[in-house]
Structure 1
Amino acid sequence: MGKETTDPLVIEALEWLVRLRDDKAGEEVRRAFQTWFDQSEAHVAAWEHAQAFWKRFDIVQPEIESIRNSQKFLNRRNLLLGGGAALVGTGGLYAISRSDLFADFVTDIGERRTWTLADGSLIELGSYSALSSNFTETSRQFELHRGEGFFDVAAASKRPFSVNAAGGTTHALGTKFNVKYVGDLVTVTASEHAVMVRVGASSPAKIEQGWQLSYSKSGLGNVTRVDLGSIEAWRQDRIVFQDVPLRRVLTELERYRQGRIILTSKSIGDIPVTAIFSTKQPEEALQTIADTLPIRILHATKYVSFVYSV
């Protein structure tokens, strides 16, 4: 998204823009903004960038609606301001192809599905997930492109079962395990028996039943004990958070609703959240967070919501 998301002053300007659009903003807020605005020419330029960025939403929204209505096979979130998946410029809106576009198993936003494989194994995918498969006579390999999957593996000692995600591989040593790939983080949980996780050239880590680890490009994290009921709550259309940073909670909620949720302040992203939400009511969950934490939410358009501090 360019300068709008990397320049700290532009981010500050966006937060001021959001505050000023709030119906509850009083004269004190306006005076504070004027003080900020008058500090330097850089602040003025940042304000202009923020205004241009905001106006872009109104331009993008009708194009997104048109594309969604005419091309159902395209991934909706790929068309929206995220991860380099869309570009908005003089030529309009361009969708960039993704490796998950022709995945074998796909769920839409808010959808949860289960498949039975030819070998008897079961795969359940959560909201907004995509999985590719490569079955051969000697192996059962999968690639999780995004989202979350629960795997109940049928025994076949001569055909190893593994799931790749973000450069790491989870090998089934038993029956059941869960893999979640959201943002740049992959989290693997052993639900029954054990799994082995390997990332790059690092030594593999064994995860026993009831334990979990996460990994990213920086390598493997620590193995920790977890409550399996909470981890697998998504299979009963619930998500459970226990002292989870707000930024991760919002990223999770994005998987269950249309559009983006943008934090205007890094500091509020660290606020811990403990709650249980229904995946069928993501808007109510978002509002509950706003009602219980020192934050507010401004829905700029149907597809973009800003979260900012009170």
Structure 2
Amino acid sequence: MDTPDHSQKSASPAKDPPVTDSPSPRPSPPGQAASDRAMDQALDWLIRLQCASEQDTQAFEAWLEADPANARAYVEAEAVWNGAPLRQAAGQLHQVQRRSLRSRIRPHWKPLATAAVLLVGIFTVGNLPVRLQADHLTVVGERQRVQLDDGSKVLLNTNSAFASDLRDNRQVARLLQGEAYFEVPGGAQPPLELQAGPLRASVRDTDFAVRYLNGEAQVRVQRGDVDLQASSDQRIRLSAGDSISVGPNGFGQRGRLDAQKDLAWVQGRLVFENCPLSQVLAELRRYYPGWIINGNEQLANVAVTGNYRLDQPLETLRALAHITSAQLHEYPALVILN
């Protein structure tokens, strides 16, 4: 277990939990048993979450917290989803032989058949526009090193998509989603051209990082200079130690880089300093291949300081539960803090 280098907590007043009007995915007949209703809804969530919006995610978290039976049903449904019987069903749907599934899931054959169809293409069709453009993809929790033709080195962080090509003897790189750290050499060759959503950058002899999530790019410069252009035609030059965000409306305020914290992921670490637990969990969700649910709003503003390995998010969650005196409920691909 990777223990935190140092940790602390401080309590804040409790807040009322957010209220959502989003309904459960599908109502069930009045006479249906509660466990069957929970299972039906869990199967619907498995399908719906493959292309989930932020509102879907909030509704799913509210559904999980509404009844302990819902969490149990979701864990059970996900075990079926990832199990051999469903994969066999995906390959042999034309036979539709119910004996290929365990008898306990026979009442749910129809939604499982739909799930099986989706399962076949979920890792190749999900977020299809990005995947069709990408040369390199990382899954949740994975990092990958890429060497470009001009000698630039790129480290891709978790759940990222990246593409590059040569245009008129210029190296053009595109961060389609996620996060990347660039080491661009000097020399006589043309500068590296980078695109990330609303951001355009021209770079030579520089080390810097770009995070592109939810339509906004964040640039952090560790060494050298970066010339940036926003989609609004604004231009700015960043130097070592500078940081700035770029959105659809242009540049935000120039900030200062805290390399020990902001670039800790490059060294395989996650560093937090007096950071609200809600933000810590949001960052951990980028590295955990499952769901992390905070079932206690009183924990959201507890301040956390610590240094953790990013490749062990579950161990980090266990450490956070310990220092915040929270209970941690672990299920396959689902962790709930209470």
TM-score, reference length from structure 2: 0.63
Is 1:124 aligned to residue 147 of structure 2? no
Mapped contact 1:114–1:122 kept (Cα < 8 A): yes
Q: Which runs of 4+ in 1 moved over 6 A?
A: 6-10, 67-71
Is 1:231 aligned to residue 262 of structure 2? yes
Distance 2:208 2:235 in 1: 16
Is 1:63 aligned to residue 116 of structure 2? no
1:278 is displaced (CA, Å) by 1.0
In the TM superposition, what whole-angstrom CA distance separates every residue of 1:260-294 from its partner, at most 9, and x where no partner exists? 21344667444443211012322111111112226
Question: What amino acid does structure 2 have at the position aligned with 1:207?
Answer: L
Q: Structure 2 matches for 1:200-239, cutoff 5 A?
A: 200-201=231-232, 203-217=234-248, 219-239=250-270
* Residue equivalent to 1:3: 23
Q: Structure 2 matches for 1:96-175, cutoff 5 A?
A: 96-98=125-127, 99-102=129-132, 103-155=134-186, 159-172=190-203, 174-175=205-206
1:65 is displaced (CA, Å) by 4.7
* Secondary structure of the structure 2 residue equivalent to 1:171: strand
Specify whether residues 250 and 66 from structure 1 end up closer, same or farther in structure 2 by C-alpha distance, changes over 3 A only: farther
Is 1:92 aligned to residue 115 of structure 2? yes
- Match for residue 250 of structure 1 among 271, 281, 285: 281
| More displaced 10-residue stretch of structure 1: 232-241 or 52-61 | 52-61
* Secondary structure of the structure 1 residue equivalent to 2:131: coil
Q: Percent identity?
A: 23
Specify whether residues 297 and 177 from structure 1 end up closer, same or farther in structure 2 by C-alpha distance, changes over 3 A only: same
Mapped contact 2:174–2:195 kept (Cα < 8 A): yes
Structure 1: which 5+ runs fail to align?
A: 22-50, 72-87
Mapped contact 2:63–2:70 kept (Cα < 8 A): no
Q: RCO greater where, 1 or 2, for CA within 8 Å and sep 6 or more?
A: 2
Mapped contact 2:75–2:332 kept (Cα < 8 A): no
Specify whether residues 7 and 261 from structure 1 end up closer, same or farther in structure 2 by C-alpha distance, changes over 3 A only: closer
Structure 2: which 5+ runs fail to align?
A: 1-21, 25-54, 91-110
In the TM superposition, what whole-angstrom CA distance separates every residue of 1:190-211 from its partner, at most 9, and x where no partner exists? 1111223333216233321012
In the TM superposition, what whole-angstrom CA distance separates every residue of 1:153-177 from its partner, at most 9, and x where no partner exists? 1336663423322333333254111
Distance 1:274 1:111 in 2: 24
Q: Where is the strand percentage greater, Structure 1 or Structure 2?
A: 1
